[in-house]
Amino acid sequence: MRDVIRFFLDPWIVVGAVGFGAALLIATLLLLWLTRPPQSVGGLPTAAITVIPLPTATLTLPTTTPAIVETPGATTEITDLPPPPPGDLAVGAYVQVFGTGGDGLRLRTLPGLDNDVRLLGVEAEVFLVEDGPQQVDGFSWWYLVGPFDESRRGWAVSNYLAVVQNP
């Protein structure tokens, strides 16, 4: 047991252990210094980018309120839709949803009132006309695609579309 105690109290062993610990500490600090994240130049903050959406033309047209006819014992029905707005509605034109009173315009999978609604175009939203017209259920239907989001697409009635300049 005395030999073990004498071994650990030997000055060269103590100096070697302290030296090894110091070398290990220096190596750890050097490794941490070399792998630190880069700092910004001159202590300036990182630039922030603000995306400002491009303004779209807003067309103000007089809208007519659909007349609702009620007869005793019958369901209510819409008898007067607003007429299509003036303008050259054609393939390649940009159109804007208008006159829905904030309800939005239903874009359908196929032209016709009985087909599934794919999405709702909000008032003043702009679309690109890609196909049409097709006459179904007494309406002119146009195939619209969102110019900035091609997943927003479907068939819509021309009565709620106004031709606008390119967005």
Transcribe 9-27 into DSSP letters.
H-HHHHHHHHHHHHHHHHH
pLDDT one-digit tens code per residue, 38-61 = 665 566 666 677 777 766 655 555
Assigned fold of 68-164? SH3 type barrels. (2.30.30)
Query: Residue 108 — pLDDT band, cuts 50, 70, 90?
Result: very high
Q: CB neighbours (10 Å) of residue 75?
A: 6
Instruction: Determine the average pLDDT of the residues in 13-37.
Output: 88
Q: Where does residue 9 fall: left (phi above 0), alpha (psi -120 to 50 degrees), or beta otherwise?
A: alpha
> Is pLDDT of 110 > 60?
yes
User: What confidence score (pLDDT) does residue 78 get?
Assistant: 45
> Is pLDDT of 163 > 80?
yes
The whole-angstrom separation of Cα 154 and Cα 46 is: 42
What's the number of CA atoms in the CB half-sphere (13 Å) around residue 127? 33
Please provide the distance, in angstroms rounded to a whole number, between the alpha carbons at the two ends of the chain: 91
Whole-number percent of the chain with pLDDT over 70: 67
Q: Is the dihedral of CA 135, 140, 141, 142 positive or negative?
A: positive
